[in-house]
Amino acid sequence: MTEPTVSAHRQIWRENGLSEGIRVVPEETALAMSYGASTHAVMMGTPQDLEDFAVGFSLTEGIIDNVDGIESLEVVPQDEGIELRMWLSGTEAARQSERRRHIAGPTGCGLCGIDSIAEAMRPVALVGTGITVTPAQIMTAMQALYPLQKLNTLTRAVHAAAFWDPERGILECREDVGRHNALDKLAGALARNRIDGASGAVLLTSRVSVEMVQKTAVIGASLIVSVSAPTALAIRMAERAGITLCAIARSDGFEIFTYPNRVKTDDAAIHVA
């Protein structure tokens, strides 16, 4: 199986001159999602946690309704990539055959191959009541995420998505060169381990675009916290889904864009900045 990192030779330029050395960089591999005898999508991603990726992609793309919709899953190395070969149960297989299409997706492409505006803007899943947290809990959760990013510590070139439970802390963390892939891997890990997405929050190290909100809604989490800013469409989608969207989470605080009622503070007044 392909390793997730490679040691690359490099020349290093600094003000005091040139030197040589080795840098660990993330691997990027073609990952083909196959259902039955046909390829549905080819994405570029990091070759680790591939079973999670296959399950999570299938869930967030609406190919299956739950993890039991996949009857078998096999990771098959190919000459120039890896095939994630799945066989679906009868109902899901019939539905997949109706919407089958071929997609070629570059790294980080979350809506690759969508062939209509209506499909790209499909109705988002609605989350439930969800969790209530304090600002201190959010800050603690994000601080706990950084030590878990083992691949990024080595390469400084990958994204992470994690699931945080207020009672138990971070339960799962997945990394990938593609931010959508990292979130799909997280979705798959939660489904395979039978962890209820409604019990916690999704933590992201990337910007929040609309498909990141859509995928979180499928997971069922009522709270997203990210280190980067959201897009305007992501904010509108979070409103529709009932998701509390916190972003620009740094060491000195964060910003709440939707449903601030889930973040409980003791402040008597809100100052407009």
Give 111: exposed, middle or buried? Use CB within 10 Å, 0-12, 13-18, 19+.
middle
3 state SS of 138: helix
Strand 159-165 vs strand 201-204: parallel, antiparallel, or unpaired? antiparallel
From 109, 112, 173, 246, active-site residue? 109
Contact indicator for 16, 31 with CB cutoff of 8 Å? no
Roughly how many angstroms between the first and final C-alpha of the chain, as a whole number?
Answer: 51
246 is catalytic: no
Q: Which two tokens stand for residue 28?
A: 């990027």
**Helices 232-241 and 210-219: angle between axes, nearest 10 degrees:** 20
Q: Which two tokens stand for residue 149?
A: 């990013």
Helix (H) / strand (E) containing 236 = helix 232-241
* Cα–Cα dist 167/152, whole Å: 26
Rg (CA), the chain: 19
Which positions are annotated as active-site residues?
109
